[in-house]
Structure 1
Amino acid sequence: MKAPQDIILRPVITEASMENVQSRKYTFKVAKDANKIEIAQAVEGLFPGVKVARVNTVSCRGKFKRMGRTAGYTASSKKAIVTLTEGSKTIEFFDSMI
């Protein structure tokens, strides 16, 4: 089994993701091979007192980029939008960003 730090890579800090914090939805960049159950267990393991209600995942394809004559793709990634239950604690990291 993977460690929670290997599954949850970093938080996603954008305007859209910060608007969802009020409705208890938090966005993370996760490992591409992680499934929803592993993501939920990793969030509950990394942040004590947090209970996950549901997890939505989005696979993001790499973008096509050019630098002069050379062309290629950026790295593909996976995002997870984690919704918490009503009775659980919030994630303090995101609360300090608001």
Structure 2
Amino acid sequence: MSVLIKPVISEKANEIAEKRNRYTFLVDTKSNKSEIKYAVEQAYGVSVVAVRTLISAPVVKSKYTKTGLQVGKTNKLKKAMVDIQEGQTIDVFGNI
């Protein structure tokens, strides 16, 4: 199973990448910081300084229909913000 799922491409993530040299990835929910660091170093050939992780809870939504109350939820997501060494960059848009 791959630790890195995909890079997060948003206005906020791109701004942080330009200003602070910090890139954001969606990662496997069972991975830890050392696995994420190793995966980024192997995939992109950069040296990682620090890894920050956060887990976003599933969103529960409900709606009323003819058949009754329908309840659904999204999946739990884990994001990792990776600081890389000064002077190095990751080409996020080259893999699209």
- Same fold? TM cut 0.5: yes
Structure with the largest fraction of strand: 2
**1:46-57 equivalent positions in 2, closer than 5 A:** 46-48=43-45, 50-57=46-53
Give identity over the alignment, percent.
36
After TM superposition, the score normalised by the length of structure 1 is: 0.83
Name the count of aligned residue pairs.
91
Is the Cα contact below 8 Å between 1:47 and 1:91 reproduced in 2?
yes
Tell me which structure has the larger Cα radius of gyration.
Answer: 2
Q: What pairs with 1:82-97 in structure 2 (closer than 5 Å)? A: 82-87=82-87, 89-94=88-93
Alignment counterpart, residue 30 of structure 1, candidates 27, 45, 49: 27
Structure 2 match to 1:79: 79
Measured after TM superposition, the shift of residue 64 of structure 1 is 1.1
Q: What RMSD over aligned residues (CA atoms) do the two structures have, in Å? A: 2.0
**2: CA distance, partners of 1:67 / 1:11:** 32
Give 1 or 2: higher helix fraction. Answer: 1
What SS class does the counterpart of residue 30 from structure 2 fall into?
coil
Q: Residues of 2 paired with 1:80 and 1:63: CA distance?
A: 19
Structure 1 consecutive aligned stretches of length 4 or more whose deviation exceeds 3 Å: none
